[in-house]
Structure 1
C-alpha cells in the first residue's frame, strides 16, 4: 500500500473517530441535562430513560475504545513515528508493550 494512500486512509479513520467522539460528547451533555431534570422534578418515571441513555453511552464508549485499538493495531507498524524520522531497528518496549522514548524518537538509549 502506498504511503500516500495509507496516510489518507489513516486520516479518514481519525476523522470518523473524531466525529464519533463529538457525537458521544453531545449525547453526554444531553444525558447530563436529562438526569438533572429528573432530579429537579423528582420524577421516578423518567429514571428509566436516564438509565437507558446511560447504557447507550456506555456501549458507545466501548465501541469507540475498540475502534481506537483497531486503528492503533492497523497503523502502528505502517506509519513512521511523527516528528522522529525513520524507526529504529532495535525497539525497546516496557511491560505493557508501549514504545519507550528511545524507540519513539529513534535516539537509541537516550530515552
Structure 2
C-alpha cells in the first residue's frame, strides 16, 4: 500500500488510507489530490468515496460518520461520530507509528463498515 499524507494519522487520514488500499494517492497534505477539506466541504475520505464508491450505501454512510468525527462542528451529524473521534484520537497513543496506526485502524473501519452493511440488511 502506498499513500502520502502528513504524520500522525487519526480520523480522516486513517479512513482514507483504509479505503485507498490499492492506490498510491496523496491526501490531506499540501498539494495533494484529496485535500483535508475540498471546495465542497468534504474531507478527503468523503471525496474519495464520492468519486469511486458512491454506489455503496454503507460506505457513503461511513463517510458521513468520518466527516462528523473529523469536523468538530459536525460531531452530532451521526450517533457514531463522537465514538469514532474518541477512538481515533487514541490511535497515536497506542501505536508505534502511522503504519501501525493504519493496521489497527483497518480492523476498526472493517468492523464499522460490516456493521453498517448488516444494519442495511446487506450480507457482510
TM-score by length of 1: 0.28
Instruction: Compute the TM-score of the two structures, normalised by the length of structure 2.
Output: 0.25
Compare the two structures and name the one with the higher strand fraction.
2
Question: Taking CA–CA contacts closer than 8 Å with sequence separation of 6 or more, which of the two structures ends up with the larger relative contact order?
Answer: 2
More helix by share: 1
Bigger Rg over Cα: 1
